[in-house]
Structure 1
Amino acid sequence: MPANSPGLLIIERILRDRGSIWQQIVEERDLNRLTVQMLASSAIALAIYGAVLGFFNGPLMALTSAIKLPLLFLVTLAICLPTLYLFNLVFGARLSVKQAVSLVMVAITVTAMLAVAFAPIALFFLITADDYGFFKLLNVAILALSAIVGLRFLTGGMQVLHAHGLLTPAKTEPEPALVAAPSPAVEEKEPAVVGAPAANGDGAAAPAAVPATTPPPPVLVARPGPDGRVWDPAVGRYVLARRPVGVATERPASMTLLYIWILLFGFVGTQLAWTLRPFFGNPDSPFALFREIEGNFYAEIIRTIANL
């Protein structure tokens, strides 16, 4: 799918041709437009899913949930993104702010689109099963599953950036130059004269000696530049050097901290969701834009499971 697809179709490009998305982020090419497309798509999808959640209480709750659910994801991103960016800077990664935002927005877009894909299922149980506790647990499970898949896209994107050397400190090397690789050692022998007979043990002439093999010419090897690029004679320019497939490489600290950041993102998101509640709205309670802050998200889930 071309890079200039309409914003609402960006999810197709992410799912069908994610390699081009990663390459665009690596090259830092037209990231403003890409980020706006993902932001619009995820906001609309989360608003639709939020409306389904709120319909359990009524149209007014559906409207407020349609506003609060996109706000939940965007505020969580705003809180946690500086931590991810600074983590990478501390350990020498060369990610820009635009690249970090684009990577996280890919994860949020996938999460939002998967959630809206589950919206018909949630709506079906809303109509056929009038059980507030079950409906709440069902949608928490849907959002959790969607978030897990979305975060897998985030880790996949970070691994691609690691393969391009953007998560490792920049190497200070001389300017790119072509250097001669050492030729393989050749065992020195006395030069053999073609056609010169030599006597063997019984006095008969031995076969003529074969001239020694000429050593191969030196091979020109491109030395990587300071930014990790190497000269590609096929295209006549410097390109990003890729690591050979199958070569074991040490995982950088940035990747380890990414998993810590994902846990942090999850804790911040769930606590913010608890602060912004209600999203579902208990039909036995009157409409309220916000509830009093008491307890926590995890205790409420355990209590709901126990009451089923």
Structure 2
Amino acid sequence: MNHFTVLMEFLRDRQRFLKEVDQGIRIDIKIISLLIASSAFFGIYGGIIGSFSNPLQIISSAIKLPALYLLTLLICLPTLYFYEISSGSKRNFGQYLALLLAATSVISVMLFGFAPITLFFRLSIDDYTFFQLLNIVIFGITGLIGVNVFYQCMQFITEQKAEENTYRTKILKAWLVLYGFVGSQLGWTLRPFFGSPGEPFALFRELESNFYMHVLQLIGKMMGWV
């Protein structure tokens, strides 16, 4: 099977895809296909953002960007799964994994869609700070879209089983916030993704500060405050 076909099925006929997941139909195939398709799109975008440094950084970023999203998923999914099980859900881990991979795949598709814009600014502007901020904004936009897709998927699946539960909805929203925090901090831990012009290649950097302080520093540089 063409692995990208499964992703297109989700994008074009989401209700059918979600009903199949809810019924446990072809879960293994969906998981494998979504994993491969999203990794390919993430890898392409990772290679673009790594091109600001050197060829080794391109390869490193093309590998680390898919790893970032997969690790975030693996870290956060057990929390959601065990909460759902404790709340009476009859779905298995694979079904939740398929749902979250589907939402993650949407993020990868959106990043792939932004790739020409990112590449344009990469080739036309030699401003490392601007390029970093541009991509942080793009990652933020695509991340919010992916989170919203997963929220809608969970709401749809829940409606297939019972009436909406306000408490469970609040827990889901809190989990999505947690997912965002884990993803952003994990991205900081796995850096560099962009590399630093003029500096030797480094697979990882020493831990210091945090993602949010770094964003504030970048904004300060852009505005001339620091």
Name the counterpart of 1:211.
none
Name the counterpart of 1:281.
195
Name the counterpart of 2:126.
130
Q: Quick check: 2:45–2:112 contact (8 Å CA) kept in 1?
A: yes
Higher share of residues assigned helix: 2
1:86-97 to structure 2, matched below 5 A, reads 86-97=82-93
Q: Distance in 2 between matches of 1:86 and 1:128?
A: 48
**Alpha-carbon shift at residue 86 of structure 1 (Å):** 0.8
TM-score calculated relative to the size of structure 1: 0.70
Q: Is residue 159 from structure 1 mapped to residue 184 from structure 2 by the alignment?
A: no
Q: Distance in 2 between matches of 1:100 and 1:253?
A: 19
Q: Quick check: 2:158–2:164 contact (8 Å CA) kept in 1?
A: no
**Alpha-carbon shift at residue 252 of structure 1 (Å):** 4.3
TM-score calculated relative to the size of structure 2: 0.94
Structure 2 gaps, min length 5: none
Q: Distance in 2 between matches of 1:64 and 1:15?
A: 29
Name the counterpart of 1:36.
32
Q: Quick check: 1:87–1:254 contact (8 Å CA) kept in 2?
A: no
Name the counterpart of 2:206.
292
Q: Quick check: 1:11–1:113 contact (8 Å CA) kept in 2?
A: no
State the one-letter code of the partner of 1:285. Answer: E
Rg: which structure is higher? 1
**Alpha-carbon shift at residue 271 of structure 1 (Å):** 1.0
1:104-119 to structure 2, matched below 5 A, reads 104-119=100-115
Structure 1 residue runs of 4+, over 3 Å off? none
Counterpart selection for 1:75 from 71, 74, 87: 71
**Alpha-carbon shift at residue 147 of structure 1 (Å):** 1.2
Q: Share of identical aligned residues, percent?
A: 38
**Alpha-carbon shift at residue 133 of structure 1 (Å):** 0.6
Q: Which has the higher contact order (CA 8 A, sep 6+)?
A: 2
State the one-letter code of the partner of 1:12. Answer: M
Q: Distance in 2 between matches of 1:9 and 1:65?
A: 26
State the one-letter code of the partner of 1:131. Answer: D
Name the counterpart of 1:181.
none
**1:15-44 deviations in whole A, cap 9, x for unaligned?**
211111111111111100011110000011
Q: Quick check: 1:26–1:99 contact (8 Å CA) kept in 2?
A: yes
Q: Distance in 1 between matches of 2:123 and 2:191?
A: 22
Q: Quick check: 2:7–2:105 contact (8 Å CA) kept in 1?
A: yes
Counterpart selection for 2:48 from 52, 61, 71: 52
Structure 1 gaps, min length 5: 169-248
**What is the number of residues matched between the two proteins?**
222
**Alpha-carbon shift at residue 10 of structure 1 (Å):** 2.9
Name the counterpart of 1:214.
none
C-alpha root-mean-square deviation of aligned residues, in Å?
Answer: 1.3
Q: Quick check: 1:53–1:279 contact (8 Å CA) kept in 2?
A: yes
1:1-308 to structure 2, matched below 5 A, reads 6-165=2-161, 249-308=163-222
State the one-letter code of the partner of 1:104. Answer: L
